[in-house]
Copies of this chain bind each other. A is one copy, B any other.
Amino acid sequence: MNARKVSSQPPIPDSSRREPSLTIGVLGAGQLGRMMALAGYPLGLRFVFLDPAASAPAGSLAEHVVADYLDEQALERLSACDVVTYEFESVPVEAARRLAQKTQVFPPPDALAVAQDRLLEKECFRALGVPTAPFAPVSTREELASHVQELGLPAVLKTRRFGYDGKGQAVLRSEADLDAAFAELGAQPLLLEGFVPFERELSLLCVRGRDGKVAFYPLVENRHREGILRVTYAPADGIRDSLQATAERYAGQVLERLAYVGVLTIEFFLRDGELYANEMAPRVHNSGHFTIEGAETSQFENHLRAILGLPLGSTEVLEPCAMLNLVGDLPPREAVLAVPSAHLHFYDKAPRVGRKVGHITVRAATRAALDANVTRLLRLPGAG
């Protein structure tokens, strides 16, 4: 075709001449995987996602194997990838272990196993001298009663596994709450946690390379409603250098202990100037979405750099940012984009009550200007 002959992108007659492109296998194909692929394409990477949900968000922009996480053929396909990672921490550890026999899997499956279990997670923190709320494992109604005696009330009863967005938890305010809570959750192994009346929730995004080099983003502040993250401020306001240093020291020990590779997120409670580790996520994290526009290198690119053994990118945050989750509803695009420096992220998911369907990142030169834009955005349906 004439027009084509003079194209500045001429056809490639023999596609075998194409340079080998690294392929990343990803367990889970949600919005985190979608944003990981968007960060990886410019690096010349390709992606294969495994997720049983046919309409998972990453599926519309990469190869998507729709199957159970333990499906033989599916794991066969992923084991042909150069590196395998996860965007969702509740995948069966067995799937990760099986893949690790055939290809490189980062973060290490052992780290995934620890992060999946609130008890192992808390024990890891405790073993490293990282402060946490007091906790005790609970498997019977009797254990619950005795541990409530030790830890006191109020306390929080949590399933050890598969909790997210406040689900799988019950707050115990009085003895009267114990029966109902145990009846609701007791079928699974549980963890009882002493209640920490914290002032703020902070999270620290960390990344560790295959060479052991680490990088940390500044502590951010997370505001929740109904157990769901609504707004993240980055950097968190009024954080002393010494507190950032303490958080990095705690996190550095965890990264080492787990021989971690990739992005790890640790949530902390801040109380009386002290940090208490609440939980860790062995993956890129909702509280790090601001890094797409707000940091020199996004958490998604740094995760990919880490698992590929590439140099980590700068974690510098250039301006104050806020990230607002869009939960259960999508505002009109034009309303979001009319706000100066607002950056829109729709996940291509059907809106549903309590479901994260997108987010907005906004930056400003000053915190005051930022707050003005945030206030304006918070009026939008689904925002914050």
Contact = CB atoms under 8 A, between A and B. Distances in A.
Given A7-B88, A9-B57, A349-B9, A1 B68 contact: yes
A238 interface: no
A311 interface: yes
Contacts of A350: 12, 15, 17-19
Contact of A305 (B1, B52, B337): B337
Interface in A1-54: 1-4, 6-12, 15, 17-19, 21, 28-31, 34, 37-38, 41-44, 46, 51-54
Interface stretch (A117-125, A171-179, A265-273, A339-347): A339-347
Interface string A160-177: 001111011000000000
A240 B199 CA distance: 51
Interface stretch (A241-249, A351-359, A372-380): A351-359
Interface in A54-101: 54-57, 60-62, 68-69, 88, 90-92
Interface in A300-331: 305, 308-311, 313-314, 318, 330
A57 B41 CA distance: 10
Number of copies: 2
Interface size class of A (residues with CB under 8 A): 35 or more
A118 to B, nearest CB: 13
Contacts of A15: 54-55, 350
B337 A313 contact: yes
Contact of A346 (B44, B311, B337, B352): B44
Nearest to A162: B6
Contacts of A56: 9, 11
Contact of A4 (B19, B52, B340): B52
A338 interface: yes
A30 B9 contact: yes
Given A44-B330, A44-B333, A311-B334, 10 more contacts: A4-B69, A4-B90, A6-B90, A8-B164, A11-B52, A11-B53, A18-B349, A43-B344, A61-B61, A314-B340
Interface of A: 1-4, 6-12, 15, 17-19, 21, 28-31, 34, 37-38, 41-44, 46, 51-57, 60-62, 68-69, 88, 90-92, 162-165, 167-168, 296, 305, 308-311, 313-314, 318, 330, 333-334, 337-338, 340-341, 343-352, 355-356, 358
